[in-house]
Structure 1
């Protein structure tokens, strides 16, 4: 799930599979009619493609200072022994749908309005990486938003759909949650980024939807400093799958169902529980129920303090008439479900038009506290307040997020929607790198370099 606003579902094509009932999901890639289009795997342009293609700079082999004109150098390091392709997707500074070609120029996908099904993109959009240990240097020719840099051991399939005469086409991306997606058997992953003139670069390694191909990144800033998010250990998918299977044996919940394997039973990816619930809505029923009741009982008798880390400062919240009510907030919070907690964007955690600044600040801090199970711990009456060492120590908890962080080399990674919520004096758990004048964004595929 991106940290960007995406297009709502355009189609509801039927997913026909019985695999999700099995303890481990075996993928079986299908065709265009097996694609399931949701807000999680689409990007919508608000402008059609230009009449002529960009004549931007060709791909170059040396990194240079281009921070002042919107161009962003990428250094892509391949630490895998195999063929790896990179893809770049996003929206241009004019809100046109763009993909990067190997020659360094934007490709502007189109969609035929006469077609009722997704249309494959057959242009040359795969950027082959060099052999194991090599670095491939490319440059994004202009500012970009809602972007992803994808990496795949093999080839990914992208599609477009028509979204109206006044809009551009909508990009249909590979879906991790759909075991019948045309790219389901490919081992892939991505980093998310946006690079604008106003805000500079913001990038993260996202595990909000799934854990797949292992990636790490670093950002060189204009002052010579470097920010890093080293990513997961090289065998993380297998290790996390084993840990979740052990957790299922312990509590009987559907943790092992989050693991997808190929036809030879090799683990491919681990699906986040919120995404898993989108196709298995009865999973994790009542998982948090006793914990939620305990939280409500505790804060009927004593206040919960939410540090908004903003102008509102610390706000006091108490349970009144079965709603958690916070001072200055325009509305209260009902008891969440497991889906609300894992997704952080539904039920009491949905942010609506007209919600005020206090509400905008409380939602991420409250949902993060539920995912990390810190609300009933000693010191948990201030959120965020406890250090990252206290996260996931309570029961029940988000074991997916817990194991993502446990098997990250530096503990960082965006494992649920508000994983960037942390006390002001503690490490940012989310693995974000950001800078107003980025010089080079380096992404490593297959684990960190050993040299």
Structure 2
């Protein structure tokens, strides 16, 4: 979905998220107004003050800023080095058991929500510094918060829940269609929040070290495994055994990738030679090559598994990324494998993603960057949205 973010990421995640959720939909421009309602319902069961933030980038100009409750866009002022405090963009959220309705403007962005404390945002000379709680010194490290990602444009609304960076305060998203029906995704099963953390604690191999707690011991979140490697909590070699077995298998056999579901005749064929997996097309010409990846490249779907926005390397890379994270490359030489019965069956796989999907009502989540391969992402969209929804769910 997007590459790993650094402390000073300048809405790169939003731009990349837009690349995932912004797809071509035939809808007349007049079908989508300048703003649409966003109803936020607080079913968390918590008594903390809730704060809402709608931050994003105007798709027409690329300008970064924030929206108030009326959907009015406010550009960020210039930042500094060291970073300077950003204007307070917070909107008072609903109390437990209540709802508020805001207006979403047409941009690609995030809706953050935090419990009990306002989030700290700063501005550099290049743009906004977003929370990066994998960094122990991040000022938001001990705040309970989460966010959703969305794109609203003339083609419609795409809104998703995400765990690409962390699993934290539970929520679901939805969109109301013109016929009055609603699409929704992101709800956990009853007991799913605590069930996820319990399962992660029980997983040997350092996975429990992904969990971050507040000074009083309260659970705040679990970091995604790439961030766990970055902070030293998860071994950098955690997937090496599986990577080695994949490399061995395709040194003597062929991995066939059919990256486009609507183009079954577009196939690429991978074979390992030394430290490189070369992919050829149906004519036998090499179209792209990948160095043997490491665990971090697989968890982040970047670095040695970079996925540019093209029609060859990117689609092959995203297919490989899904296959490595779900551990389907050894059981099926034809990828992508979109049968959930095959997912995470190997003892060496993305256990963080496995445990998140196991706790979702519909089985869908964005637990790694290309979790949308096979349509297993927690995304809803509509070309003529009447209203968007974010529902803050109970923690127990």
TM-score (norm 1): 0.76
Cα deviation for residue 356 of structure 1 reads 5.6
Written as runs of structure 1 = structure 2, the 5 A alignment for 1:191-206 is: 191-197=148-154, 199-206=155-162
Describe the SS at the equivalent of 2:140: coil
Matched, 1:89 2:55: yes
Cα distance in structure 2, aligned partners of 1:267 and 1:327: 47
Q: Partner of 2:145 in structure 1?
A: 188
Query: Runs of 5+ in structure 1 lacking a partner?
Result: 10-35, 45-65, 164-169, 423-427
The partner residue of 2:380 within 433, 438, 441 is: 433
Cα deviation for residue 236 of structure 1 reads 4.5
Cα deviation for residue 278 of structure 1 reads 2.6
Describe the SS at the equivalent of 1:174: coil
Cα distance in structure 2, aligned partners of 1:247 and 1:5: 26
Cα deviation for residue 235 of structure 1 reads 5.4
Matched, 1:119 2:71: no
Q: Partner of 2:253 in structure 1?
A: 302
Residues 1:330 and 1:89: Cα distance change in structure 2 (over 3 Å): same
Cα distance in structure 2, aligned partners of 1:108 and 1:288: 43
Cα distance in structure 2, aligned partners of 1:368 and 1:415: 11
The answer on whether the counterparts of 1:42 and 1:172 sit within 8 Å (CA) in structure 2 is no
Cα deviation for residue 314 of structure 1 reads 2.9
Q: Which has the larger radius of gyration?
A: 1
Cα distance in structure 2, aligned partners of 1:241 and 1:41: 29
Matched, 1:153 2:115: yes
Residues 1:175 and 1:137: Cα distance change in structure 2 (over 3 Å): same
RMSD: 2.7
Matched, 1:108 2:108: no
The partner residue of 2:164 within 203, 208, 214 is: 208
Cα deviation for residue 128 of structure 1 reads 1.6
Q: Partner of 2:25 in structure 1?
A: none
Residues 1:102 and 1:205: Cα distance change in structure 2 (over 3 Å): same
Cα distance in structure 1, aligned partners of 2:81 and 2:177: 46
The answer on whether the counterparts of 2:70 and 2:103 sit within 8 Å (CA) in structure 1 is no
The answer on whether the counterparts of 1:214 and 1:233 sit within 8 Å (CA) in structure 2 is no
Q: Partner of 1:365 in structure 2?
A: 319
Deviations 1:283-306 (A, max 9, x none): 423322232222222223332221
The answer on whether the counterparts of 2:209 and 2:234 sit within 8 Å (CA) in structure 1 is no
Cα deviation for residue 193 of structure 1 reads 0.7
Q: Partner of 1:52 in structure 2?
A: none
Aligned residues: 372
Q: Partner of 1:325 in structure 2?
A: 278
Written as runs of structure 1 = structure 2, the 5 A alignment for 1:333-344 is: 333-344=290-301
The answer on whether the counterparts of 1:43 and 1:171 sit within 8 Å (CA) in structure 2 is no
The answer on whether the counterparts of 1:216 and 1:231 sit within 8 Å (CA) in structure 2 is yes
Deviations 1:385-432 (A, max 9, x none): 34113211112010000111111222111000010001xxxxx21111
Cα distance in structure 2, aligned partners of 1:304 and 1:283: 29
Cα distance in structure 2, aligned partners of 1:371 and 1:409: 21
Describe the SS at the equivalent of 2:290: coil
Describe the SS at the equivalent of 1:260: strand
Written as runs of structure 1 = structure 2, the 5 A alignment for 1:222-261 is: 222-233=178-189, 236-248=192-204, 253-261=205-213
Residues 1:408 and 1:306: Cα distance change in structure 2 (over 3 Å): same
Cα deviation for residue 156 of structure 1 reads 1.1
Q: Partner of 1:75 in structure 2?
A: 39
Cα distance in structure 2, aligned partners of 1:303 and 1:42: 34
Q: Partner of 2:97 in structure 1?
A: 133
The answer on whether the counterparts of 2:187 and 2:393 sit within 8 Å (CA) in structure 1 is no
Residues 1:42 and 1:346: Cα distance change in structure 2 (over 3 Å): closer
Deviations 1:366-396 (A, max 9, x none): 111011111112xx11111341132111120
Describe the SS at the equivalent of 1:242: helix
Cα deviation for residue 224 of structure 1 reads 3.8
Written as runs of structure 1 = structure 2, the 5 A alignment for 1:382-393 is: 382-393=334-345
Cα deviation for residue 217 of structure 1 reads 1.1
Cα deviation for residue 242 of structure 1 reads 2.6
Residues 1:69 and 1:38: Cα distance change in structure 2 (over 3 Å): closer
Matched, 1:419 2:376: no
Written as runs of structure 1 = structure 2, the 5 A alignment for 1:24-35 is: none
Cα distance in structure 2, aligned partners of 1:346 and 1:153: 34
Describe the SS at the equivalent of 2:81: coil
Q: Partner of 2:266 in structure 1?
A: 313
The answer on whether the counterparts of 1:365 and 1:421 sit within 8 Å (CA) in structure 2 is yes
The answer on whether the counterparts of 1:42 and 1:171 sit within 8 Å (CA) in structure 2 is no
